[in-house]
Chain A
C-alpha cells in the first residue's frame, strides 16, 4: 500500500524535475517546481501514515506555506522580467554570467 504512494511520489518528482530542466517558459518551470514540492509532500504524508505519527503531516504544512510565499515572490519576479524584456523564456535572462 505505502509503496504505491511512494512510487507515485517518485514519478511526480521525476516529471517535475525533467520539466524544470527542459522547459523554457518560466511559468511552466515554476509549475514543475511546485510539482516536485508536492511530490515531496506526498512522500511525507505517506510516511506519517505508515509510522502512525503526525511529524510528516506537520512538515507538509510547512512546505505548503513556504511554497505559497515562494510563489508570491517568484511570480512577481517573472512578471517584472516580462514587463521589461517582453519575454518569459528563462534562456533570455542570461546577463548575469562570466
Chain B
C-alpha cells in the first residue's frame, strides 16, 4: 500500500498544532531572556511548557484518530517561509504524531526527573531553558512539512545538544565533547544540506507533499545520490558508522540530557529522516536502501561490541544506544515491511533506554557522581525502586519474552531475515551480544560485592526522580506488545509510510526468534559467570587485544585522527607556512622594496639649490637633445 495523499487542514486542535512548538519555545525564551529573575521558578516553567505541549499532542492525536485512515495526513499551512521557495506548514500524520507523543511524553518525564537531579546545580534554570529549546527544535524537526523546516529543526537540536553536552563547561572534557559532537554533526549536516539542494534542483520543491506528487522523474542516479546524502545526514545525527564517534563522548553532559537527547529522541532523528523520505528516496532494493541496511547492521554490531568493554555505566549505555539505533536503521532500510518495526522499536527504545539512563543517573546521584561500574556492586538492596525499574528496562532491551523489546526487536529481526538472511543472522548475533553487555552492566551495578569508595553512602533517590522511572518502566513492559500484536502500529502508520501487501503475522516460536532467545540467554549466563558470581576487580584488568579494541571504541577515534585530524593539521600548517612565507613575504617584500628605494631616492633632495639647478639643466639638455633626435628622424 502506498502512502496516502497529504491534504490541507484548518480548524480544531490540529489547526493550532503550532502550539506544540510554540509552548516550549516560549519557555526557553522566557528562561533565557529572563535571566536570574526566573531562577526561582525556572524549573517549574520548564516542566509546565513540556507537559502543556504533551497535552496538546494528545489532543491532536485524538482528533487525528477521528479521521478516516486515508485522510490522516494533514498539513497545516502557517506562513510564507521563503517566498518563491517554500511555505512553512506543519505535517500532522501518524508518523509525526508518534514522534510528538514520544518527544513530549518522555520529554516531560525527563523534565520532571531533572528537577530532582539538577536540584543542587546553580544553573538549573539555564538547564531547563536548553531542555525546552531542545523539545521545541525536535518538534519542529518532526512536524515540518518540508525539508527546509526539517533542516531548521535539525540544526536546532544540534545546537541544543551542543549546549547541553557542554553544560558543565568548566570541565575541559565536557567542552571538548560538545565541540566534537558539533563538528562530527557538521559532516552529516553537510550531507543533508546538499541532499536538500539536490531535491530542489530535481523536483523544484522541497515540501514532502510536493516531492511525493511531483510529476518530475529525475534520473536513477540523482535519486540514489539524494538517498546516500540523506543517509550521510542520518548517520551524523544518529551516531551511525562512520560518524559514530561523538555519541560516547556526549555522555559528558548531565544524565537527563543523555537520556532525552542522546538516547530517546534526537539520535533517532536519522531514523525519522530515512522513514519520512523512504517512499521517494529509499525504495525497496535500491542502492540507497541497501546502504542503509548495511550501515545499520555494522553499527548495531559495533555499538554492541563497544558496550561489552566499557566500565563507565553511561558509556556502556551509549554503546547500547548506537546498537539499538542500528537496529532501527536496519529496519528502515528494509522498506515498508520494516518501517513500522523501526518506529515501534524507536518508541519502545525511547522508553526503556530513557528508563535505564535515568536509572543510571539515579545510581550516580547516590554514589557521588561515580560512573565507574567497578566501584558499584550490591546496590539492589539500597536502591530498590531504581533497581526494579532498571531491571525492567534491562529485560526489555535484551528482548525478554513479552516485554516491549521482545516484540519490536523480534519484528526487526524477522523483517530483516525475510529481506536478506545474512543481515538477519547478524542482527541475531547483535541481540546475543546485547544480552551479554546489558547483563554485565546490571550484574556489576546491582549484584555482587560492594566495591564502593569509602565516602559513598548510597540512598534511594527522591520521589520526583523515581516516579518518572516507574512510569517509563511501565511503558517498557506493555508498549511493545500493544503496538506490535495485531499489527496495530503498522496499520496506524500505513497512511504515512505505506505497508506491505501482506501484513506480517507474529510467530512466537520462529527459528530466528528461538535462536535469538538462546543467544541472549547464553550471553546473560556468560555475564553472570564473569561478573555476577565471580569477583569483579576494582581496577580494570589489562584484558586481551579484543578488550582493548572494544575499549578504544574499535579505534574509531584513532582512525579519525589518522585519516582526518593529522592530515588536517598538516594542511593548516602548510597554509600557515604559505601565508607567512608566501603571501606575507610578497606583500611585506613589495612594501620593503618600495620603502628602501624611496629612502635612497629621497637623498637626492640635498637642499643645495645649485644641484637642483644642475638637474634642471641636465633635464632640459636631455629634452632638447631628444627633440633634436626625434626631429631628425
Contact = CB atoms under 8 A, between A and B. Distances in A.
B609 A93 contact: yes
Contact of B608 (A20, A22, A29, A90): A90
Contacts of A91: 608-610
Contact of B607 (A20, A24, A95): A95
Contacts, number: 33
A98 B602 contact: yes
A96 B607 contact: yes
Contact of B614 (A21, A95, A97): A21
Contacts of A20: 610, 613, 617
A90 B610 contact: yes
Nearest to A91: B608
Given A17-B617, A21-B617, A98 B603 contact: yes
Nearest to A95: B607
Interface string B610-623: 10011001000000
Contacts of B608: 90-91, 94
Chain B interface size band reads 10 to 19
Interface string A59-98: 0000000000000000000000000000000110111111
A20 B613 CA distance: 8
Contacts of B539: none
Contacts of B505: none
A29 B609 CA distance: 10
Nearest to A26: B609
A81 to B, nearest CB: 11
A21 B605 contact: no
A8 to B, nearest CB: 19
B612 to A, nearest CB: 10
A21 B614 CA distance: 6
A94 B607 CA distance: 4
B203 to A, nearest CB: 72
Nearest to B599: A98
B606 interface: yes
Contacts of B602: 98
Contacts of A22: 610
Nearest to B614: A21
B384 to A, nearest CB: 94
B609 A90 contact: yes
B606 A97 contact: yes
Given A90-B608, A98-B602, 16 more contacts: A20-B617, A22-B610, A29-B609, A90-B609, A91-B609, A91-B610, A93-B607, A93-B609, A94-B608, A94-B609, A96-B607, A97-B605, A97-B606, A98-B603, A98-B606, A98-B607
Interface of A: 17, 20-22, 24, 29, 90-91, 93-98
